A and B are shown apart, each in its own frame.
Chain A
């Protein structure tokens, strides 16, 4: 009796497995006046992200009495979901700090990232920040659809207790290349 149940169970399992595979309906045609064959087609789309619309923050001139601030828009696109994570890395960075460099001296600067819905979030150099949302899910360059309108802002202080501010360095042009890496979350 138990053996019959086992055989039945195995038969059902076998049928289910066969049915599962048979969703692949690719089949050859039969010989006839006409012959019809079918072919399955399948495309997998991975979780994709893109950052774009970045604008250089160059041409800034320090005027004594105030910090230098600048910003760039950033389009964040993700297919299928709107949450994402960001890592900002300074080419002159050290530890968690972002630096501009003249070749001889460095100046500290701060970076914030605003996803367009949560307000500015302070970033640390080379540190993953995973709290962002509202990526555009329609257009890879944010030209269509809602969301994806982020802002990256930098602020270069005049003075700093630990590092150099703008009022504490020789005359020169101080530069950096900030790399923004976006990943799905």
Chain B
């Protein structure tokens, strides 16, 4: 039983590392330029996450008895 739990933990840790590595590699396009004669070219990754925002608008005051 203990061996099984240990193996499971090792599997989960390995899987997490692999996922992290893949995740990083998808964003690994930021590169430094090389020393060159006419032009040196570097690249920078940019990303922005836009969440699922919601808004209610157009509300009007409700008055009774007027």
Within 8 A of B (CB), among A45-60: 46-60
Decide yes or no: A181 and B36 within 8 Å by CB, A56-B44, A166-B50 being known contacts. Answer: no
Q: In whole angstroms, what is the CA distance A74 to B46 when docked?
A: 15
Chain B positions within 8 Å of A26 at CB level = none
Q: In whole angstroms, what is the CA distance A171 to B53 when docked?
A: 8
Chain B, residues 19-54, CB within 8 Å of chain A (1/0): the string is 000000001011111111111111111111111110
Give the shortest distance, in Å, between A74 (CB) and chain B (any CB): 7
| Chain B contact residue count (CB 8 A cutoff) | 26
| Chain A contact residue count (CB 8 A cutoff) | 47
* Contact present for A55 and B30 (CB under 8 Å): yes
Decide yes or no: A50 and B35 within 8 Å by CB, A55-B30, A182-B40 being known contacts. Answer: yes
| The 6 nearest A-B residue pairs measured at CB | A51-B33, A171-B52, A56-B30, A52-B32, A175-B47, A56-B45
Question: Can you give 26 contacting A-B residue pairs, CB < 8 Å?
Answer: A50-B33, A50-B36, A51-B33, A51-B40, A55-B44, A57-B46, A58-B45, A58-B47, A60-B48, A60-B49, A64-B53, A74-B42, A100-B47, A107-B48, A107-B50, A166-B48, A171-B53, A173-B50, A175-B45, A175-B46, A177-B43, A178-B43, A180-B41, A181-B39, A181-B40, A181-B41
